């Protein structure tokens, strides 16, 4: 009799009910076994190194260290690691960043059990899958100019309620430089003002959801 292949899965999500649901969904599959469950990115990195699972299911929004940190750290240590992002959040910039850091697939938490199971199996053999909604979101912004690292630094401080002068002091920039960067941000995001820009940036994933 041929040896049955078992896909060893590590779950990283800070919500106990989500971990329980995933465990229940996957463990009824004859070819899957949950080898670990963790609640933040730092634990995910440590557990991956210790357990060497075949596939990691990774939430993005977690305390202490988030999923993006964990994806980058795991892939740096193991370039062949298979990581399935499972998150609540869309946003073309968020999806693009996760995939650029090394995620194999990107799913929303609204995905069906069948889609999650199929995605884990695909990731195990190195095939990528992105949620149709996420693909649609990326397509809607295809060709859009991304925000630069310097522009993101300005916008992140603006999202905290700082004015141009305060942002300049924080970043050691002239106030006029901050105004110039903010003008560029508004143009790239097609925003009416800085509040609108922050809202768009959160939705698209340039800024983390608080």
Backbone angles phi, psi at 35, to 5 degrees: -100, -10
Backbone angles phi, psi at 130, to 5 degrees: -120, 135
Q: What is the CATH number of domain 149-204?
A: 1.10.10.10
Same fold, 7-140 and 149-204: no
Banded model confidence at residue 4, pLDDT cuts 50, 70, 90: confident
Write the DSSP assignment of 126-153 as a string of letters. T---B-HHHHHHHHHTTTPPPPPHHHHH
Residue 3, pLDDT above cutoff 70:
no
Alpha-helical (H) ranges within the chain are: 16-27, 41-51, 67-77, 92-101, 113-124, 132-140, 149-158, 164-171, 175-189, 194-204
Q: Go through 46-56 and write b for each residue having 16 or more CB atoms within 10 A of its CB, e for each that does not.
A: ebbeeeebbbb
What pLDDT shows up at residue 142? 87
Q: What is the C-alpha separation between 72 and 187, in angstroms, rounded?
A: 30
Listed by start position, the domains of the chain span 7-140, 149-204
Q: May I ask the CATH class of domain 7-140? A: alpha beta
Cross-strand pairs, 86: 107
The verdict on pTM exceeding 0.85 is yes
Residue 30, pLDDT above cutoff 90:
yes
């Amino acid at each position: 009799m041929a040896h049955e292949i078992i896909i060893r899965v590590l779950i990283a999500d800070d919500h106990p009910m989500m971990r329980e649901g995933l465990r229940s969904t996957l463990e009824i599959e004859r070819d899957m076994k949950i080898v670990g469950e963790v609640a933040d990115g730092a634990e995910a990195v440590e557990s991956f190194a210790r357990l060497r699972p075949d596939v990691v299911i990774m939430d993005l929004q977690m305390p202490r260290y988030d999923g993006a940190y964990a994806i980058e750290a795991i892939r740096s240590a193991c370039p062949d690691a298979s990581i399935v992002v499972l998150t609540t959040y869309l946003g073309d910039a968020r999806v693009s960043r996760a995939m650029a850091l090394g995620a194999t697939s990107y799913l929303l938490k609204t995905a069906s059990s069948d889609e999650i199971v199929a995605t884990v199996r695909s990731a195990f053999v190195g095939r990528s899958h992105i949620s149709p909604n996420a693909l649609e979101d990326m397509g809607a912004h295809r060709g859009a100019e991304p925000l630069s690292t310097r522009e993101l630094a300005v916008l992140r401080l603006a999202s905290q309620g700082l004015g141009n002068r305060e942002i300049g002091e924080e970043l050691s920039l002239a106030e006029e430089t901050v105004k110039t960067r903010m003008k560029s941000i508004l143009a790239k995001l097609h925003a009416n003002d800085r509040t609108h820009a922050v809202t768009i940036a959160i939705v698209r994933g340039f800024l983390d959801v608080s």
